Amino acid sequence: MFQKMLIDGKMVSAEDTIDVINPATEKVFATVPKGTTEHINSAVAAAKKAFPAWAARPEWERQEIVAKMAQAVEDNADALARILTQEQGKPLPEALGEMAWSQGYMGHYATLSVTGRTIQDDDDFDIRMRRVPLGVVAGICPWNFPLLVPLWKIGPALVAGNTVVIKPAPTTPVTILRYLEICNEFLPAGVINVVTDENDLGPVLTAHPDVAKVSFTGSTATGKKIMASSSGSLKRVTLELGGNDPSIVMPDVDIPETAASLYGGAFLNAGQVCLAVKRAYVHEDIYDDMCEALGKIADAAIVGDGLEQGVTMGPIQNKAQYEKLKVLLAAAKKDGKIVSGGLVEDKAGYFIRPTIVRDVTDGDEIVDLEQFGPILPVIKYKNTNDVLERANNSDYGLGASVWSKDIAAATQLAERIQSGSVWVNQHINIGPHIPMAGFKSSGIGVEQSAEGFEEYTQVQVLNIAK
């Protein structure tokens, strides 16, 4: 399968290509063009050229185009999901779930509206605040949700009146390329452009003088580089970065029920989710029982090729992350006790069984570092003040959760956690209408919701003397 880039309404090749590897087989699944600096410049120029006419369109027309994009996900969900599973690894039911999320998010974005307000209107002055589009938006996307995350950026950017250049992850570019080829039948030329690379063109895109805003989802280390690269022209930046998300489990919970929910929050997409449970703090009174319950669920997982019937967990998406996780797994075995999993199978594919590690604590690598994979450390605690301090003792603050039958007590504890999203008796309940933001090194700005939508606009005040 060969999938081209989209630049200025045309499907574009390049002199060189990139092999896209199926992580379940380690075989080449598809090839895509290896973009160059010239392709980035052409994409930005096309977006800049298309911007005035797109911004001048009535808002309802922009909403209508985004609604068509939502419909295109639904109409092509089965085919796109199979592509996504082959390049990303997640089981086909999860890939279909990503299609449903993508359609729902784009459908919601199609209802958004740019709003302003009247500040003063009297005999002397008519003062209004309005919101206007920024211009060209660069979206740089990760490999864990190859369709959903680009659409998080494309949808609000377009409705607000901006044009877009997307750079997908080099290991998962195929789904978004194929999807936008489908949408190109009704998209105005230059409004959306996609350039593929080997992670070498990010600085070219983020430093480009004609890019007004960069929206990035990925690692904190890369986010810092993007901030530095964008600073030369004072670009707007939205950075949704890493997390080492804690869950605090109080002693009064229903153990089987909570274990099932914790497992789901930790191992969705093989743990390759920025908001996944990364550290589970469990009260000493129920620690042994909770570790046992989590282990039994992990034992029942069916790990394999996501296209195979019955598979509940796919491979790690790429070799680099796989090798990193093997190092963390070795450290976890040294520092703690493996309750379930801990196995790296000697066969093709980047497979690691879901792993529960007990008897580890703060200071151990598997607790302090964001694993971004199917390894869950379970840490014992004695009292609320102690566990709160330990949960907050991190450079990150993206997501967290508290679990208890006493909702009032759990909420009081949740309010003291330094995290952009804190759930009570649930984890990863997100939606396009809910703000997503990070404390500390987990990011800058807001995605999703009305607040996130506004980040794709510039405030302008009209101050008219009567």
Can you give the residue ranges of every domain in the chain?
Answer: 5-241+442-465, 246-431
Mean pLDDT of the chain: 97
pLDDT at 97 over 90: yes
Q: Which helix (H) or strand (E) holds 51?
A: helix 37-56
Query: Which of 83-92, 316-325, 336-345, 428-437 is the least confident region?
Result: 336-345
Q: What is the mean pLDDT of the segment spanning 87-92?
A: 98
pLDDT at 346 over 90: no
pLDDT in tens, 197-210: 999 999 999 999 99
pLDDT at 1 over 90: no
Q: Which of 76, 138, 84 is nearest to 106 (CA)?
A: 76
pLDDT at 408 over 80: yes
pLDDT in tens, 63-85: 999 999 999 999 999 999 999 99
Give pLDDT, residue 401.
98
- DSSP per-residue string spanning 359-411: S--BTBHHHHS---SSEEEEEEE--HHHHHHHHH-SSEESEEEEE-S-HHHHH
pLDDT in tens, 249-299: 999 999 999 999 999 999 999 999 999 999 999 999 999 999 999 999 999
Our answer to whether residue 240 is catalytic in this structure is yes
Q: Which of 96, 89, 91 is nearest to 321 (CA)?
A: 89
Our answer to whether residue 345 is catalytic in this structure is no
pLDDT at 247 over 90: yes
pLDDT at 132 over 80: yes
- Contact between 342 and 233 under an 8 Å Cβ cutoff? The reply is no
pLDDT in tens, 13-44: 999 999 999 999 999 999 999 999 999 999 99
pLDDT at 315 over 90: yes
Question: Which residue among 87, 141, 183, 274 is the active-site one?
Answer: 274
Give pLDDT, residue 347.
85
pLDDT in tens, 215-237: 999 999 999 999 999 999 999 99
pLDDT at 345 over 90: no
* Whole-angstrom distance, CA of residue 273 vs CA of residue 351: 17
Residue type at 46? A
pTM of this structure: 0.96
Torsion of CA 202, 204, 206, 210, to 10 degrees: -150
- Contact between 240 and 216 under an 8 Å Cβ cutoff? The reply is yes
Task: Report the topology of domain 5-241+442-465.
Answer: Aldehyde Dehydrogenase; Chain A, domain 1 (3.40.605)
User: Using 50, 70 and 90 to split pLDDT, how confident is the model at 414?
Assistant: very high
Q: Residue 89 corresponds to which tokens in the numbers above?
A: 């690894």
Question: Which residue among 94, 98, 240, 370 is the active-site one?
Answer: 240
Domain 246-431 sits in which CATH superfamily?
Aldehyde Dehydrogenase; Chain A, domain 2 (3.40.309.10)
Q: What is the mean pLDDT of the segment spanning 104-132?
A: 96
Looking at 76-212, list the stretches that DSSP marks H as alpha helix, in order from N- to C-terminal side: 77-88, 92-109, 148-160, 174-183, 202-206
Q: What is the mean pLDDT of the segment spanning 244-251?
A: 98
Torsion of CA 431, 433, 439, 441, to 10 degrees: 60
pLDDT in tens, 370-397: 999 999 999 999 999 999 999 999 999 9
